[in-house]
Amino acid sequence: MSTKVAYDLSLFNSNGKVTNDAEKKVVDISQVSESYKPVVKRKHNFLAILSFALIAVVGFMVCTALIKSDAMLSELNNQIARAQEELKEEENAYSQYKMQVESIYSLRVIEDYAVNVLGMVKVENNQKNYVSLDEGDKVEIIQDSENKNIIQKIISAIFGLSSS
Amino acid sequence: MNNKELNNGNVKKKKHIKGPKIRLWHRTFVVLSVIMILFLAVIARIGYLQIVQGESLQKSAINQQVRELEISAKRGSIYDTNGEVLAQSATVWNIILAPIYIKDDIEREYIVENLAKILDLDKDDLMENSKKKSYYVTIKRGVNKDVKDEVLTFVNGIKDAIKDSYPKNSKGDSTYSNTNIGSLIVTEEAYERYYPYQDFASVVLGFTGSDDQGLYGLEYQYDDVLSGVNGKILTTTDTHGVQTPFSYEQKVEAIDGYSLVLSIDETLQHICEKYLEQGIIDNKVANRAVAIMMDVNTGAVLAMAVKGDYDPNNPYKIMDEELAAKIEEIKNDDERAEARYAAQSAQWRNKAISDVYIPGSVYKVVTTSACLEEGLVTKDTTFTCSGSYVPFPGSASIGCHNRNGHGTQNLKQALSNSCNPAYMQMGNLLGVDNFFKYYKAFGFSSKTGIDLPGEAKDIFFTTLGYYGGMSLSDLAVGSFGQNFSITPIQMITAMSAIANGGKILQPYVVRQILDSDGNVVKTTETVVKRQAVSENTTSQLAEMMQYNATYGTAKNGYVAGYRVAGKTGTSEAKRDANGDGIKDYIASYCGFAPADDPKIALLVYFDTPLSANYYGSAVAAPAFAGIISEALPYLGVEAKYTEEELALLDTVANNYIGMSVAQAKNKISEDGFAVIVKGEGANVIDQVPANGEKIPKGGTIVLYTDEVSTDDTVVVPNLTNMTLSNVNRVAALYNLNISISGMPSSSSGELLSYSQSIEEGTSVKEGTVILISFKENDEVM
């Protein structure tokens, strides 16, 4: 630096700004390409990417499963409703047919047929024998023969086991 | 800045030059501002609609889109006491047409032609309906599943069926393009009521209307129990009224109605109806018939039959074909409609509870009970009958049915003779106050409260200006059951009291109420309303009534093997229902059995029999006997025969086929029968009656010994309206056997046959057994 002037104009660039030697390297922004980007070197974290990918996949699978199960549930519910509807219709048809059968086999129809077609007659009251069941159930115990040999006894025992 | 400028000492401000970026920002700002303004406008509008008009718009949307569909609750069923179905609902479908979807006449013609065939509709009416601009026209109600499926199959096939009727486009495809044709038909679920046994117990069951509401009988009385609670579905629909898929839906399930289990037994009901129908035919009954059977120990109504009824499956059809034809001949529309309605109402009416009748001589059992209870008479008290009686000084003489008089008779004989003078004397002993007291005690002054609609009230004397205000004249005729009216249900309830030791019970028809899962919700208990008379009185009366049914005027109600207690009644109906100028009579028989251990009480009555003999003993008693003879064995009551009864019983033929003629003759002789041999063969190849068939003791067995002889037949002659000896004689001429029914153990009057089991003119083999029914031809009131 010259010591004779107040300012050393050589230090200034054409725009009048001070530069010093250390800063002689001027960065002219207008000349800088817009595409310029400082290159920053990054460290790739493989684990983070992997875990992110895994989470994404799991999340996707869960969502898919939820949607699918919901759809299946709806479909099953619809099937159940249709089956119940069908069951109800069949039950109704059964009731109607049953009533038709009962009307065909009413007491009046049966009696008319028996008397007029088959020529049957009612049994007289004096022909009926009444059986009294007041004495209750009876059990008959069969006495085993004492002359059975050992083989017969074994066979009886086996049959006895199978019948129980 | 260059040196020159610096040296000038003027530092000028830099003139900004608008670069492309700044212009871009400015344009962007303008566009964004416009978008923001528009966005704010939309927000403001939404806000206005949502906040200011939100509520009213929501209501409009709900009204327009939300559709409420009713889910019908299934009506409960009605069962007899053994669980037999008497009434049940089943799902049917209403067919709804959306004629607005029919585009042209080709479609319309095809649809109407086929739908009319499938649904059995009038084509012209259906054509009219198909032209309506509507989404909802009901064309048929109550179709079953098969018809519904057929209709839906037809609708699905319309496109394929008629596309060839339309011109084809350049590609050769049909120009038929009605995409809405699939929505042409909608089916709506509904319920229809079925009564599987048609007119069985119809007046008790009643019927339902088109909205499944009870209109008569139990259907009406228990309508709230049977109906259940309808559910609903709230759903949204589009402009066409079609339910939008995946839309919000809320469902309230229907609660099905409860079911009724009746005390009525199908078998006992059938027995009563069968004998009533036969009685109506045999006696030319003009105004219906009633039978009520009650369990004397519980008040349960085991059967309530009214003949001259209807089919609840088709309640508006008039069952009397003659009457229906007469009504159709009426030219005036209003008069015809009125006559039709009157005929329908008459057949729906439950005569057992809704009609009153004059009880006649059946009421004598109440008069007797009252006198016994008050200690005014004993079984040894005597009464004199000279053929008529003057009940009080200054009154006219009132005659007995026996103009010659019964002479002196004790209490039992007075009841058995059904002697009016004896009962007028008893009435005088009782007096007006006591007569009315026991009238009320036996329940005649108030309704029984049975669980059926339309119960009528009695019509009693009001001579003195108030109910129960009887004159002496009223007392006289009231003593033998004339000039006041009660309902049949009141009479049978009183008779049950006589059978069960004097207790007036609450009669009922519904035994249990079940929910839709079959759980018991309610059970009817036996209710004793009051003690009308003491057990001592009723036991004396039961003995007298049993004597009456065996030896007295009620002996046509006698049943071999069973002790029956009964009383006949023949009352004037005080009207001329059939307009023939002859007074109407009501023939009735009321009693209970077995007399020594009563189980059932039974009342049978026929309104206006037009046969020559209209008396209770001739008209009602045979029906009573027939019902008892079938009902008691069904209820497990064993027949116990006396020696006299055993001697009169029929026996059965043994087997003689395969024997030689000589062997067979010997065997037959040993068995106590007579024998006739037909044909020239050596061995017996056929016999009449066959092995095991009924034959009267001492009857004739006809043996056939060759094929030719088996073709021999005789024509059955008329065996009715004859005495027993004449029937015997005529049957013997034709080599026919007869079996006798209705023969009382003793007979003071003339027994005449009134029916034969094989009709006159039928060809039968010799030896055939014909059942002949007899009854005593008493003319007893």
Nearest beta carbon to residue B649 from set A88, A89, A126: A126
Cα–Cα nearest to B580, from B609, B605, B606, B604: B609
pLDDT of residue B477: 95
Residues 32-91 of A with CB under 8 A from B: 88-89
pLDDT tens by residue, B504-538: 999 999 999 999 999 999 999 999 999 999 999 99
Confidence band (pLDDT; 50, 70, 90) for B158?
confident
Most confident of A67-76, B101-110, B175-184: A67-76
B123 in the same domain as B35: no
Beta-carbon contacts of B746 under 8 Å, excluding residues fewer than 6 positions away, are: B550, B551, B555
pLDDT of residue B5: 47
Q: In this structure, is residue B4 part of a structural domain?
A: no
**Residue that has been written with the tokens 């029968």 in this structure:** B673
Reduced 3-state DSSP string for B744-779: CCCCCCCEEEEEECCCCCCEECCCCEEEEEEEECCC
Nearest beta carbon to residue A125 from set B85, B197, B629: B629
pLDDT of residue B599: 96
Buried b (16+ CB within 10 A) or exposed e, B502-535: bbbbbbbbbbbbbbeeeeeeeebeeeebeebbee
Q: Mean pLDDT lowest for which of A11-20, B370-379, B557-566, B735-744?
A: A11-20
Extended beta strands in B197-263, E state: 231-236, 250-252, 259-262
**3-state secondary structure (DSSP) of residue B562:** coil
**Residue that has been written with the tokens 């085991």 in this structure:** B302
Q: Is B119's pLDDT higher than 60? A: yes
Chain B environment of A99 (Cβ under 8 Å): 85, 88, 90, 194, 196
Provide the sign of the torsion angle of the four alpha carbons B150, B155, B160, B163, taken in this order.
positive
DSSP 8-state code for residue B137: E
Q: Can you give the CATH number for the domain in which B134 is found?
A: 3.90.1310.10
- Name the minimum distance, in Å, from the CA of B693 to any CA of chain A: 9
Number of domains forming the structure of chain B: 4
Confidence band (pLDDT; 50, 70, 90) for A1?
very low
User: Inter-chain contact B91–A88, Cβ cutoff 8 Å?
Assistant: yes
pLDDT tens by residue, B69-113: 777 789 999 999 999 999 999 888 899 998 988 888 888 999 999
Confidence band (pLDDT; 50, 70, 90) for B63?
confident
What is the extent of the structural domain holding B759?
Answer: 649-776
DSSP 8-state code for residue B3: H
B162 in the same domain as B44: no
pLDDT of residue A143: 67
Omega cis (within 30) before B744 = no
A126 touches chain B (CB under 8 A): yes
Cα–Cα nearest to B456, from B496, B492, B485: B485
pLDDT tens by residue, B634-689: 999 988 888 777 777 778 889 999 999 999 998 998 888 889 998 899 999 999 88
User: Inter-chain contact A89–B200, Cβ cutoff 8 Å?
Assistant: no
- Name the minimum distance, in Å, from the CA of B227 to any CA of chain A: 18
Q: Is B399's pLDDT higher than 70? A: yes
B665 in the same domain as B568: no
How many other CB atoms are found less than 10 A from the CB of residue B551? 18
Q: Can you give the CATH number for the domain in which B363 is found?
A: 3.40.710.10
A17 touches chain B (CB under 8 A): no
B90 in the same domain as B25: no
Q: Is B228's pLDDT higher than 80? A: yes
pLDDT of residue B89: 92
Instruction: Tell me how far apart the alpha carbons of residues B780 and B548 are, in angstroms, rounded to a whole number.
Output: 13
Instruction: Tell me how far apart the alpha carbons of residues B475 and B439 are, in angstroms, rounded to a whole number.
Output: 12
Nearest beta carbon to residue A99 from set B194, B274, B641: B194
Nearest beta carbon to residue B198 from set A103, A111, A127: A103
- Residue B728 dihedral angles phi and psi, to the nearest 5°: -55, -45
Average confidence (pLDDT) over B178-206: 88
Instruction: Tell me how far apart the alpha carbons of residues B749 and B618 are, in angstroms, rounded to a whole number.
Output: 12
Distances, alpha carbon B389 to alpha carbons B381, B412, B418, B422, B473, in Å: 18, 19, 14, 9, 12
Does an H or E element contain B510, and which? strand B510-514
The residues on B that touch A, with CB distances below 8 Å, are 1-2, 6, 84-85, 88, 90-91, 144-145, 194, 196-198, 200, 266-267, 270, 273-274, 560-561, 629-630, 633, 638-639, 641, 646, 649-650, 652, 693-694, 771
Instruction: Tell me how far apart the alpha carbons of residues A81 and A76 are, in angstroms, rounded to a whole number.
Output: 8
B698 in the same domain as B624: no
Instruction: Tell me how far apart the alpha carbons of residues B100 and B134 are, in angstroms, rounded to a whole number.
Output: 5
Q: Is A125's pLDDT higher than 50? A: yes
pTM over 0.80: no
pLDDT of residue B1: 46
DSSP β-bridge partners for residue B756: B772
Q: Does this complex have an ipTM over 0.85?
A: no
pLDDT tens by residue, A33-62: 555 666 666 666 889 999 999 999 999 999
Instruction: Tell me how far apart the alpha carbons of residues B193 and B212 are, in angstroms, rounded to a whole number.
Output: 8
Instruction: Tell me how far apart the alpha carbons of residues B509 and B78 are, in angstroms, rounded to a whole number.
Output: 11
Secondary structure (DSSP) of B175-186: ----TTGGGSEE
DSSP 8-state code for residue B526: P
The more confident residue out of B119 and B2 is B119
Q: In this structure, is residue B327 part of a structural domain?
A: no
Q: In this structure, is residue B406 part of a structural domain?
A: yes
Average confidence (pLDDT) over B4-22: 56
Decide: B763 and B743 in contact? Cβ < 8 Å. Answer: no
B700 in the same domain as B630: no
Instruction: Tell me how far apart the alpha carbons of residues B124 and B72 are, in angstroms, rounded to a whole number.
Output: 32
Question: How is residue B289 written in tokens?
Answer: 């018939």
Q: In this structure, is residue B748 part of a structural domain?
A: yes
Measure the CA angle with vertex B591, ends B750 and B523; round to 5°. 155
Cα–Cα nearest to B729, from B717, B747, B715, B712: B717
Instruction: Tell me how far apart the alpha carbons of residues B208 and B746 are, in angstroms, rounded to a whole number.
Output: 51
Q: Can you give the CATH number for the domain in which B732 is found?
A: 3.30.10.20
- Residue A31 dihedral angles phi and psi, to the nearest 5°: -85, -10
- Whole-number average pLDDT of chain B: 89
B115 in the same domain as B91: yes
Q: In this structure, is residue B635 part of a structural domain?
A: yes
Cα–Cα nearest to B287, from B27, B587, B2, B716: B587
Q: Which amino acid is at B524?
A: T
Cα–Cα nearest to B193, from B84, B95, B313, B83: B313
Beta-carbon contacts of B357 under 8 Å, excluding residues fewer than 6 positions away, are: B485, B486, B487, B488, B571, B573, B586, B588, B605, B607
pLDDT of residue B135: 86
Instruction: Tell me how far apart the alpha carbons of residues B753 and B579 are, in angstroms, rounded to a whole number.
Output: 30
The more confident residue out of B198 and A31 is B198
- Name the minimum distance, in Å, from the CA of A105 to any CA of chain B: 9
User: Inter-chain contact B274–A111, Cβ cutoff 8 Å?
Assistant: yes
User: Inter-chain contact B270–A103, Cβ cutoff 8 Å?
Assistant: no
How many other CB atoms are found less than 10 A from the CB of residue B114? 17
Size of interface A-B (CB pairs under 8 A): 70
B526 in the same domain as B400: yes
Decide: B437 and B526 in contact? Cβ < 8 Å. Answer: no
Single out the residue in B596, B614, B640 at which a domain terminates. Answer: B640
pLDDT tens by residue, B584-599: 899 999 999 999 999 9
- Name the minimum distance, in Å, from the CA of A69 to any CA of chain B: 16
B681 in the same domain as B635: no
Q: Is B222's pLDDT higher than 90? A: yes
Q: Is B174's pLDDT higher than 60? A: yes
pLDDT of residue A41: 62
User: Inter-chain contact B1–A15, Cβ cutoff 8 Å?
Assistant: yes
Single out the residue in B616, B640, B664 at which a domain terminates. Answer: B640
Confidence band (pLDDT; 50, 70, 90) for B459?
very high
Cα–Cα nearest to B767, from B709, B670, B699: B699
Distances, alpha carbon B127 to alpha carbons B52, B114, B121, B162, B313, in Å: 49, 11, 10, 18, 29
Chain A environment of B639 (Cβ under 8 Å): 125-126, 128
DSSP 8-state code for residue B684: -
B677 in the same domain as B628: no
B595 in the same domain as B634: yes
pLDDT tens by residue, B744-768: 656 556 678 888 888 899 999 888 8
Decide: B716 and B760 in contact? Cβ < 8 Å. Answer: yes
- Residue A40 dihedral angles phi and psi, to the nearest 5°: -115, 120
Confidence band (pLDDT; 50, 70, 90) for A30?
low
Single out the residue in B609, B640, B671 at which a domain terminates. Answer: B640
Q: In this structure, is residue B329 part of a structural domain?
A: no
Instruction: Tell me how far apart the alpha carbons of residues B77 and B89 are, in angstroms, rounded to a whole number.
Output: 7
Q: Provide the greatest CA pair distance for chain B.
A: 177
Average confidence (pLDDT) over B188-193: 86
The more confident residue out of A156 and B97 is B97
User: Inter-chain contact B145–A92, Cβ cutoff 8 Å?
Assistant: yes
Instruction: Tell me how far apart the alpha carbons of residues B10 and B13 are, in angstroms, rounded to a whole number.
Output: 9
pLDDT tens by residue, B414-438: 999 999 999 999 999 999 999 999 9
Question: How is residue B585 written in tokens?
Answer: 């009579």
